[in-house]
Structure formats: C-alpha cells, structure tokens
C-alpha cells in the first residue's frame, strides 16, 4: 500500500519541532515537503530551526523545506518568543543546518506539489495559516487534490491563549484562517482544549536527559527550559497532539460542527466560533468541520515517545 503523502506547514518553535520529529520518523507516511511561516518566531528564524530539526530527525535529503510568508495578510507581525525563547527552540543548541532551502516561495511550492501529486495530499497545519491562504488564492483547484487537513488551532471551549478568546495560530492571521476554514477543505481542528490534558510533567525530563536518543534529550532540554524560565510544572506540546491525531485519528473524539473565524475588531477577533448547540438553525454560511474534543492521552504519549526514540 502506498504511503500517505503529507505536507506540513509550521512556524518552528519547540512544539512544532517535536511534531516534525514525530512525522519525519513515522514510517507509515511520506513527508513530501515542509513550509515555514511567520508565527512563533520570525520566518527566517523558523526556517533555520526547521532545517535543524529535519537534520535531528535524520530525514532523507529528498524532504524539501520552503520559506513562506514573513507577515500576516492584514495584521502586524506577532511572535511568541516569550514562550519559545528568542531563537524558538528554548535555547537548545542544535548544529547549524547544511540542508539547502527550496527556492520556491511556500505558496508556489504548495500549489505545485499538491497539483503534481499522484494521490490526494494530507495537509498538517501547525502555524498561522498565511501560506495556505496564499496557496488557495494562487490556485483554488488545490482543494480538489487535498484528501484531509489536520490543523492545530482555535479552541472549541472559547478559551484562548493569545487573547482570552483566541488561540495564537488563528489570532496571528485571522483573515488567512477565515479563507482556509471557508475554502471547502475537509478540516479536522485540534484546538487548545483537547491538548491541555496531555501536558507532560516537567520532572519527567530527568528520565530522558541522558537518553541515547538525541531527540529525547531534545525533549528533556525543552522541559528543563520551560521549568526554569517560565515556572511551568507541566507542558502541553500542542502541535505534537495534532500530529498524533493526524497519524492516528482513532485516538480522538470529535464531532462535525459548524465553525467560523471571528474577523470583527474587538476582544473576540481571531477566535474560532464553534456552534455546539444540539438544536441550531441552519448555517449555510458556516462550514462544517470535524472538531476534536478529547484525545487518548496515554496513546498520544506512547506515539510521541516511540517516534522520538
């Protein structure tokens, strides 16, 4: 059986890094390319981080990495270096990458790769959605060539982390998120709420800091930084949860519900609105997506650690 072909869009901070390691070391899929966008860190820092992580994963040279948008469609640039560290990887020292960057802009790379694929492609979106929105504007027909989309973004319970109502990836570029949500793509949304219960206690780093696996040592270094610098007792590695759901959809409990992205100015700008009412009027202007409400925490952790080993 042919392996599923994936394209991964990221803004590589520490949780993107763990998710990339999981994907690149998953034998059941083919990572056909990685695109990088402004988000957790400026795009050029995220690009360098991505190249480093691809090397840490021992990925083959055939995995291309492309640079994407350096700013949102409308909003000014926003970053999360206060969480991920100025360089995005919690200060963990990884060697300088030698791998070249694909010369195409990310939107062009996405369009050409999707349209040329012999089979439908899976998109795994771990970042603000600027690159994908630009690709949709460049070539709307890519919707017909995408088998499924799994994205880390939003929250079904209305609680954000970038603002009280909005999750970071959506809030950084709400217009791009609206374009993606309303594109007709088959979206599975892994929001903040199902990720929070998967938080890894930081003391577990002690079991991994001397591991023979450089990837588990990297995870230990992340947890050590977040414990020291931010006082976190436990850390939810959000993008890794979305990656587990993409690899094993059966570990997630989800419902198909109408959803949209709030674009109006105010406290709720950038929030994903999910209509969870058991009785509701028809909303032809709201696309229906699969909303993840819970994840099997033990299965997610097993999958994550197995891949990092």
Strand arrangement, sheet containing 252-261: 65-67, 29-36, 4-10, 121-125, 146-152, 187-190, 288-295, 252-261, 272-274
Give pLDDT, residue 209. Answer: 93
Whole-angstrom distance, CA of residue 235 vs CA of residue 200:
5
Whole-angstrom distance, CA of residue 161 vs CA of residue 198:
16
Two structure tokens written together for 275: 């209509």
295 membership: H or E segment, kind and range: strand 288-295
Give pLDDT, residue 279. Answer: 77
Give pLDDT, residue 277. Answer: 85
Residues 6+ away with beta carbon under 8 Å from 135: 106, 107, 108, 110, 111, 114, 142
Give pLDDT, residue 1. Answer: 58
Whole-angstrom distance, CA of residue 87 vs CA of residue 269:
28
Whole-angstrom distance, CA of residue 10 vs CA of residue 35:
6
Instruction: For the domain covering 4-199+236-308, report its CATH number.
Output: 3.90.245.10
| 217 backbone dihedrals φ, ψ, rounded to 5° | -65, -35
Two structure tokens written together for 260: 């949209």
Whole-angstrom distance, CA of residue 151 vs CA of residue 217:
27
Segments of the chain with pLDDT less than 70: 1, 280, 282
pLDDT digit string, tens, across residues 136-151 = 999 999 999 999 999 9
Q: 3-class SS at 204?
A: helix
| 9 backbone dihedrals φ, ψ, rounded to 5° | -110, 130
pLDDT digit string, tens, across residues 223-262 = 999 999 989 899 999 999 999 999 999 999 999 999 999 9
Q: Is 120 exposed, middle or buried (0-12, 13-18, 19+ CB in 10 A)?
A: middle
pTM of the entire structure? 0.96
């Amino acid at each position: 059986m042919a392996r599923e072909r994936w394209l991964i869009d990221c803004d590589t901070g520490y949780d993107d890094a763990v998710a990339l390691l999981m994907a690149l070391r998953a034998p059941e899929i083919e990572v056909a390319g990685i695109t990088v966008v402004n988000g957790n860190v400026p795009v050029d820092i995220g690009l360098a981080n991505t190249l480093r992580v691809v090397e840490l994963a021992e990925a083959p040279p055939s995995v291309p990495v492309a640079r994407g948008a350096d700013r949102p469609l409308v909003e000014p640039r926003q970053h999360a270096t206060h969480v991920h560290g100025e360089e995005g990887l919690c200060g963990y020292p990884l060697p300088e990458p030698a791998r070249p960057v694909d010369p195409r802009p990310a939107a062009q790379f996405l369009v050409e790769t999707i349209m040329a694929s012999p089979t439908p492609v899976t998109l795994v979106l771990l970042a603000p959605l600027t690159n994908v929105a630009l690709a949709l504007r460049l070539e709307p027909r890519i919707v017909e060539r995408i088998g499924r989309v799994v994205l880390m973004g939003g929250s079904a319970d209305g609680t954000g982390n970038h603002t009280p109502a909005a999750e970071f990836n959506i809030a950084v570029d709400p217009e791009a998120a609206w374009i993606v949500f309303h594109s007709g793509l088959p979206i599975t949304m892994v929001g903040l709420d199902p990720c929070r219960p998967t938080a890894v206690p930081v003391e577990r780093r002690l079991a991994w800091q001397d591991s023979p696996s450089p990837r588990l040592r990297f995870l230990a270094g992340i947890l050590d930084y977040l414990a020291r610098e931010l006082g976190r007792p436990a850390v939810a590695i959000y993008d890794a949860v979305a990656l587990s759901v993409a690899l094993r959809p059966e570990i997630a409990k989800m419902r198909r519900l109408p959803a949209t992205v709030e674009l109006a100015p105010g406290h709720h700008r950038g929030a994903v609105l999910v209509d969870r009412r058991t009785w509701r009027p028809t909303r032809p202007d709201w696309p229906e997506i699969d909303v993840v409400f819970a994840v099997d925490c033990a299965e997610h952790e097993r999958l994550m650690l197995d891949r990092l080993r």
